[in-house]
Chain A
């Protein structure tokens, strides 16, 4: 297991270096002189020269890269051109909201995906299997922002059950709405706060969760079917085990490993979807921050958010690899790509 862990770390290092290089070169993709682009057409020569100096554009590339790396190591992600504040501070402010959204979305996807996958494997071609097929098809065909609008119109405009947007109602004290508000409310047992925050998180988390649930259920169904055709299932049947027992205690543990791996891959799609979903629901998270940065061409903010998303995704993939290896010893010795 240690060997697997170390090998996985060794694999990640060159990839991380390439990711850093790619994020660094984003500024150099800006057509023409980045300083001129950033300052707009009315900039004076002095302003341009100053910004070129501030961005270290007047030094050789390898020096620029090492300066960038040094800054990163000091937790300096540059200064936002839009707000004038350090990007790292803004990200620190918005990350908890995105993290809570992601966790609730993952819970939703497990709640929908696992039962659906198991039930449709129980009777392939049956009614639940058909529903799953339709659901998966919709899951890969509907854009996240469209589903978000649909839910908003149904649950907020027509039925008026849930709040349209934001993370909490306006009357809630600011101190309780930033940071890990939901987990805070849960921890302190603050029921009214919990209900308020909960009613806000349901729709965005549902949007993100349904997409992952579709893929998860589909994948789990296939691995379950594969597991169900194995010899030990025949033995279990011969021993007289009930169908439910066979499904849950024999097939499921063997089928769930690859499904978790898929969840890790899907996490990337969820981060991308978070940008769209947070924008629609005015969720004060990193995704919305990125949207604002795109709208105002705030390059340093776009660059840093991209890096943060990539690093989170790498950590999650790493985590899922380790978890699947813990669950399934076979995967420790040779992973198939």
Chain B
């Protein structure tokens, strides 16, 4: 594991990614460091102000400080991104390891379900699910995690299939160890490490989807500060006050970029000959 971190630090994009992500996390955890204050404070005398000393990134259509909106919104966005991936990870690993270990009809059904999820364009499925469950952060989180489940399910299924051929699993079976114990003790514990390293890398994809849903009016509802929703809110003023949309947009790009840079470095660690970006992540 420490070899992995060492590699991340040596790899150029890994280094940039770590610094970028570290900076973002530091800023959103202590917004007052850069003079950000309440994201909900309305100043009707300063609507859509361009960047200035009092408002380093300008103000939005309600006169709220954009820097504060972005930093507090970042908490929501990052938190949702992380929750989406954790949920998708849990769904995926449970489905994948059960179907990989049990095989047979359970495996066939589970894999057809995964195929069905993949038959929908990811964003379309996320939209449909979260619209049906009612707009809000919880339903958006659930909906996006469903679209990210297949990649974890397929990976952990492959792991489970590989590991259930191992001699020590045969030995455990011969000793009469019940199936669920074998799965927890042997399959899951041994198959989890590569999955765990890959999980954080999907956060970038998740954040993009969260922002897209917010942009479409699903996800976070006003006045909650969230990046996609904030962009949608300032949309009508994009031509008179482009900084409102672009400062928030740049925050999204930088955050997703940080995760994708780390994904790049991790990809290089696992297959040094072919430096794949986050294709696996998106596909």
Contact = CB atoms under 8 A, between A and B. Distances in A.
B132 A146 contact: no
Interface in A1-44: 14-16, 18-19, 22-23, 26-27, 29-31
Question: Looking at chain A's contact residues, is the secondary structure mostly helix, strand, loop, or mixed?
Answer: helix
Interface string A256-288: 000000100101111111011001000000000
A15 B116 contact: yes
B70 interface: no
Interface stretch (A48-56, A201-209, A295-303): A295-303
Interface stretch (A108-116, A238-246, A306-314): A306-314
B121 A310 contact: yes
Of B113, B205, B278, B279, the most chain A CB neighbours within 10 A belong to: B279
Interface stretch (B92-100, B163-171, B183-191, B213-221): B213-221
A79 to B, nearest CB: 18
A294 interface: yes
B283 interface: yes
Contact of A137 (B112, B124, B261): B261
B162 interface: no
Contacts, number: 162
Contact of B132 (A14, A26, A305): A26
Interface stretch (B39-47, B49-57, B79-87, B245-253): B245-253
A305 B256 CA distance: 29
B266 interface: no
Contacts of A23: 128
Chain A interface: which size bin? 35 or more
Given A29-B133, A141-B257, A269-B282, A15 B119 contact: yes
6 contacts: A15-B115, A31-B133, A143-B249, A218-B276, A275-B124, A294-B218
Interface of B: 13, 112-113, 115-116, 119-125, 127-129, 131-134, 154, 204-205, 208, 211-212, 215-218, 228, 231, 238-239, 242, 245-246, 249, 252-253, 256-257, 260-261, 264, 274, 276-279, 281-283
